Structure 1
Amino acid sequence: MKNVSEKNKSAIKLVSLLAAIGAVILIAWQTGIMDRLQDVAAMQEFINSFGMLGYVIFVLVFVAVAVFMLPGAVLTIVAGITFGPVIGGILSLIGATLGAAAAFLVAKYLARDMILKKFKGNAIFDKIDKGVEKNGVSFLILTRLVPVFPFNVQNYAYGLTSLGFAKYTGVSLITMAPGAFIYAFMAGQIVREGISLNLMLQFAAAGIILFLVSLIPKYLAKKKGIDMDELKETS
């Protein structure tokens, strides 16, 4: 009887999760949010229409993009244009971190069995699982700084590993910070100042920072004996 009860609870969780995902995707499609996520001007207008609540709305959109694996590559750029280079970077980092944390918790606790069944044998999930088992948090740092695996897929994959929530969230926050601030800054400055010599110098400085950050995963890969080419073949 106990096993039957547990199976029923798992089935209810699964049905509820699928219903929630379906509802969000349907609403996003019907309201045009799916199109707006890929249109900077439309997304900016959408966020500004909420006034001061735009800050909260933007973060919630970022979280939804991560949890439901929606297209949201332009969100950091939108933040820089809409809120300015500094506030935009902060909001992007908060949204990305909360979204990554939420997806991690879903995979770790809410829908673990479903995700395990769906992605059993998946090359990316297997690589991340083995990478964490062998190299621990160093593997998370490496894959956050080098996009060998899709960002949204990583969030769920790491939820199935032995990594703890606090460590995962903290490392994700730190490793996502450079990209969040630099891309928001670049977008915001272009809108505010236009193309100028000062802007070019700022871009050059940003490029140097990104280059220095890119050396970290190379160092980790060499130190841990991780073959980056092999990882890229699975992405």
Structure 2
Amino acid sequence: MSEKKPGSAIKVILLVAAIALVFGVAWQTGVIDRLKDVEAMQNFIAGFGIWGYLIFILVFIGVAVFMLPAAVLTIVAGITFGPVLGGILSLIGATIGAAAAFLIAKYVARDMIVKKFEGNPIFDKVDKGVEKNGISFLILTRLVPVFPYNVQNYAYGLTSLNFLKYTGVSLITMAPGAFIYAYMAGQIVREGISMKLLLQFAVAGVILFLVSLIPKYIAKRKGINMDEFKQTP
């Protein structure tokens, strides 16, 4: 996937230094511990007022870059900032985080990532899928959890995909989940369990079901057999 480029060692050293700095600051400020506790994370972010928006987005970016589970942050966003704003902030953070990981894989630490994941079935299947089906494969894997989401960000950075197309597709395909999870979390905190909430859950389920039909339609139209790309146990 890649050829050695001069100065790659310097890029790797800078990347490692940046990661060490981020983790050092996160450890000293207690952010790492708070990431494990939803209530503590909620209080931590809310305590910064309007600056909490930026802090939340930065945390979301860090979660994407370090390939950590991000679903809990979307729930925290819905609880802390409200259903709509929480969804918007989650989508912004997730999109920028996905874009950052993509750029790291493509330009900053490409050689290191290629060496580390050489022969990895996920990376190989993503590379072959993009080569054969282009952006349609990206849409399919974003909407259907064939591969771990955060791993995809780095895998796609090693392909020939254009950055703007990758970011645009990621933004659109992440939007339904971001808003639905944030909205549901916010509504539960504000109104509790009610008949209205159950109806909203039903509507959300219908929306997610309709979204799940999109990749099936694309796969059928493009003649893509997604079973070929499913991970083997």
TM-score by length of 2: 0.93
SS of equivalent to 2:130: helix
1:10, 1:57 → 2: CA distance?
31
2:160 to 129, 138, 162: 162
Q: Name the residue aligned to 1:40.
A: 38
Partner of 2:131: 133
Is residue 2:145 matched to residue 1:147?
Answer: yes
CA contact (8 A) 1:38 1:74 kept: no
Range moving further from structure 2, 89-98 or 71-80: 71-80
Distance 1:120 1:223 in 2: 32
- Residues 47-196 of structure 1: pairs in structure 2 closer than 5 A: 47-196=45-194
Computed over aligned residues only, the root mean square deviation of the Cα atoms, in angstroms, reads 1.7
1:152 is displaced (CA, Å) by: 1.2
CA shift digits 1:6-51 (9 cap, x unpaired): 9772211111111222332344344432232232111101101111
Gaps of 5+ in 1: 1-5
Q: Which runs of 4+ in 1 moved over 4 A?
A: none
The residue type equivalent to 1:214 in the other structure is S
Q: Does 1:10 align with 2:3?
A: no
- Contact kept? 1:63, 1:95, Cα under 8 Å: yes
**AA at the equivalent of 2:146:** V
Judge conservation of contact 2:147–2:231 (CA < 8 Å) in 1. no
Deviates more, 1:165-174 or 1:9-18: 9-18
Counterpart residue type for residue 23 of structure 1: L
Q: In the alignment, is the contact (CA less than 8 A) between 1:93 and 1:176 conserved in 2?
A: yes
Residue in structure 2 matched with residue 3 of structure 1 by the alignment: none
Report deviation, 1:75: 0.5
AA aligned to 2:87 is G
Q: Does 202-211 or 67-76 show the bigger shift?
A: 67-76
Q: Deviations over 1:168-209 (max 9, x none)?
A: 010100000000000000000101111111111111000000
| 8 Å CA contact 1:104, 1:158 repeated in 2 | yes
Q: Pick from 180, 202, 205: which aligns with 1:207?
A: 205
**Secondary structure at 1:163 match in 2:** coil
Q: Which amino acid aligns with 2:45?
A: I
Query: Do the aligned partners of residues 30 and 229 (structure 1) sit closer, same or farther apart at CA in structure 2, a change above 3 Å counting?
Result: farther
